[in-house]
Structure 1
Amino acid sequence: MYRSLFPRDIFAEMDRLQRDVQQAFDLSPSIRGIAWNGFPALNVGSTPQTLEIYAFAPGVDPSALEVNLERGLLTISGERKSALPEEGDKAAVHINERFEGAFRRVMTLPEDADPDAVNARMSDGVLHITVQRRASAQPRRIAIQ
């Protein structure tokens, strides 16, 4: 891939435009959230007792994150500030591929998720959300009489 450090390079601009168009088609919503290239990136797994959601948001201040659960929809939103120099600092930015700005990810939780038993904690840029499953949905052994 051809890249130049000069901002008016036509090949770099065409490359950026191609990536933007490709991302527009790749960001189709699905029942499991946004397809790849969404921010923050998610890993979702489950155990018989819990749903485990990991949102990878390096460089995001935990106070700038908001996690909401309403009607079975889990929403992770916030804003990542730019680490680049301000325009008045007499510095030039040649390549900026890091996402900055407001973001929002929405995913549907299964019916057995307990909205009253949700825990969220942030460590080293990873937001870990644990959602307990309802006790009535837990597997159990039935005694034969």
Structure 2
Amino acid sequence: MSDPFFSTHLLGEFDRLERQMANLFADFPVSLRATRLGSFPPVNIGSTDDTLEVVAFAPGLDPATIEVSIDKGLLTISGERKPAEIGAGDDVRVYARERFAGSFRRVIELPQHADPDSVSAKYSNGCLSINIGKSEASKPRAITVQ
């Protein structure tokens, strides 16, 4: 006899509901303080006194296919990753495929002191590095006491 309150079927339904909710909110912007697990590309975000630095980990991409834009305080990284070739011939059976392939779009909300006119991006060794300048008013400065 099984326990109707904690059956594996019920737990499976909760997993299905969680996946549906994650897919429903997949295209909403992610702020600097909260990131969604499983997003592609995964990012590290930090800052210096002069810049905000975003590093997106996206190996296997052609830099020419990556689009980076800033509009209304949102940094958008988008592109497409081709599926990896597993083997030659039609007789290959795939048992597991964990590498993400397909179109992606990652939106990150930037703080108000980000300067959209001072942005540079560089792709090297599978990492997309984006440096965004800060506005002059937000940079730390020393005040001379008289």
Tell me, which stretches of 5 or more residues in structure 2 are unaligned? 1-12
| Residues 141/85 of structure 1: CA separation in 2 closer, same or farther (3 Å cut) | closer
Given that 2:31 and 2:110 are in contact with CA atoms closer than 8 Å, whether structure 1 keeps it comes out as no
1:101 and 2:102 aligned: yes
Q: Equivalents in 2 of 1:143, 1:85: separation in Å? A: 64
Tell me, which stretches of 5 or more residues in structure 1 are unaligned? 1-16
- CA offset digits 1:67-108 (Å, max 9, x no partner): 010111000001100013599733221211111000111011
Task: Give the alignment's TM-score, normalised by structure 1.
Answer: 0.76
Q: Equivalents in 1 of 2:102, 2:91: separation in Å? A: 22
Q: Equivalents in 1 of 2:102, 2:87: separation in Å? A: 15
Q: Equivalents in 1 of 2:44, 2:121: separation in Å? A: 14
CA RMSD of aligned residues (A): 2.7
Given that 1:26 and 1:36 are in contact with CA atoms closer than 8 Å, whether structure 2 keeps it comes out as no
Given that 1:23 and 1:37 are in contact with CA atoms closer than 8 Å, whether structure 2 keeps it comes out as no
Q: Name the structure 2 match of 1:132.
A: 133
Q: Equivalents in 2 of 1:48, 1:98: separation in Å? A: 36
| Residues 109/78 of structure 1: CA separation in 2 closer, same or farther (3 Å cut) | same
Q: Name the structure 2 match of 1:121.
A: 122
| Residues 54/18 of structure 1: CA separation in 2 closer, same or farther (3 Å cut) | farther
Q: Equivalents in 2 of 1:46, 1:136: separation in Å? A: 16
Task: Give the alignment's TM-score, normalised by structure 2.
Answer: 0.75
Question: What's the % identity of the aligned pairs?
Answer: 43
Q: Name the structure 1 match of 2:113.
A: 112
How many aligned positions are there?
129
SS of the residue 1:99 aligns to: coil
